[in-house]
Structure 1
Amino acid sequence: QPPAATAAGRTRPPLNPGRFTTWVGPIAETDTSDSGVSWKIAIDAVGAIPAGRWASYGDVAAIAGTHPVPLGQFLATKPIAGAYRVLQAAGTVSPGFYWNPDNEYSGRDVHDVLREEGIDFDSELRASAEQRMQVSELAELIGLSVRSDVEPQTEEEGAERTAFMTQLTANQPPTTIHGVIELLDAWERLGGHLTYGSGEDLACILQAPIGPARPKHLWPIALYASGYVEVGFQYLVTRPPFDEPELRDELRTRLGEAKGVDLPLDKLSKRPSFPLDVLDDRTDRERITAALEWFMSELDRFDQELASKETAA
């Protein structure tokens, strides 16, 4: 679960999973990353939570354009006023919470502080759901409007996704983290699914839906938290329509339009890779997204051609 920070305190960032031992701090709080996350908006939103109310990491993340895990890392490193009012989705205080020694509340139970502000807790120390701020309500307090389809990302969205995001956050700079988030969102908007690998180096696999004549899963790329993107030519070799070398070469060419992507022609049956930080740049990320959109359109074309043949028969 993402940690919370206090007005003059912070929580310890979670231990890095697997073999990784470094953690890269967030960008300056006034920065807006190239991928669209605004830490200033996050700070403003947290500071706007009034006494007697609370918000979840997912609520604030939805407004700032990020994920609860990197948001938690950010709050853990900055003395942001009112950050102790950001709780886990169930209304519980982060297990790693502690006050900075210089904080006026140092030594006190944060539950008591929140109770004094008017927060009601049940017997399991869960804050009242009725006192939780809605995303639209929180955005309005800082003069923003949010799309009707913006939903908070919950910390309970899945152990595999959370593990991947935690490892990614622990080992990549904020611009890369949010470049990844943008690409994953784009893939899901295209109708794709996300699955996750296991092992020391966690991966997020961009998987296409199964088609009527495509009983096997197809995935063009997999993103590894350690810092690279693997192109799955090896798996596409036996999966129509990308069993055709010409289509795999076209995918290689389209991905190669992004700076930093160099996929050799002789790797069309292998698993070549390129650096994950290619996604830092908005233009290059859009080029990668365009290549994925073409990939999905080829699957649609294949399915439609098959359906037409069956109808004609």
Structure 2
Amino acid sequence: MTFSISRTALALSILGLAAGSAAAQSQAAPDMGRLLATGGVIQVEGAGGGGIVPWALITGYGTRDSWGANAHYTYISTQDYRLDTYGVAIGLADRVELSVASQSFKGSLVPLDNLNLKQDILGIKVKLAGDAVYEQDSWLPQIAVGAMFKDNKGVKGLGALGVTSVIQLGAKDDSGYDNYVAATKLLLEQSLLLNLTLRATKANQMGLLGFGGDQGDSRKLMPEVSAAYLVNRHLAVGAEYRRKPHNLGVDPEKAYYDVFVAWFPTKNVSVTAAYANLGKITVFNPQTQRGLYLSVQTGF
């Protein structure tokens, strides 16, 4: 099923109210007044943060009197699969973040060599307390809450097996949402960024294999952590870990993790490269999936 009218209306209402409130505080032209790299990069589901974990930081370089925006493309390639994500995000008044992303997941090994999964993601994030940059004398991290509304577009390439929907693979639903709270602390003196995110979810492989399943259909609270060291003002290195639920018998889902390098040559461009481990993805191809993560972001 796709998003119901009521769910879509609710999501759009929330996005509109948050955008309107923040836009009322923002000036017409972006000021790009925040420090380099303090918007993070774009996470694989479209939110500002690391590669696989959303942070409490608001995307873009707009201050509380302005706004910022960016577009991104992310490519992940393992031995047997490929994930492409592209989208746009906007940060309003350093308070609200809105994002839209589209994911495409393809297989390359028999019997999943023609597999093609797609999903669209609407995201919202709202900063609640703290300031990662300017409150260095406080123990309080920057804290934000967020939601991701996800709509799976079905299964292509498995028509010969009679499979056209993730529900036929055991998922309970083909649309759903994640809620999360993120806390990010930037220690400028130590050149260190630390992040903890708690996500309530029942998404299978981020939603690419639907939501819930024969192994469980309840939302679970999953921890996600990131740590980054700022080598200099243009370069950061770090690692991330993301725990995930196991809801499908056909999908022995495991945690994701990565080790990354992020380069910020200017405020208009960033490039992130990583070694990513996505765990085992299906019983039809039960190898641990490891490979290259590459993301390019441009904006202001």
**Shorter-chain TM-score range:** under 0.3
Larger Rg: 1
Superposition TM-score, scaled by structure 1 size: 0.26
More helix per residue: 1 or 2?
1
Higher relative strand content: 2
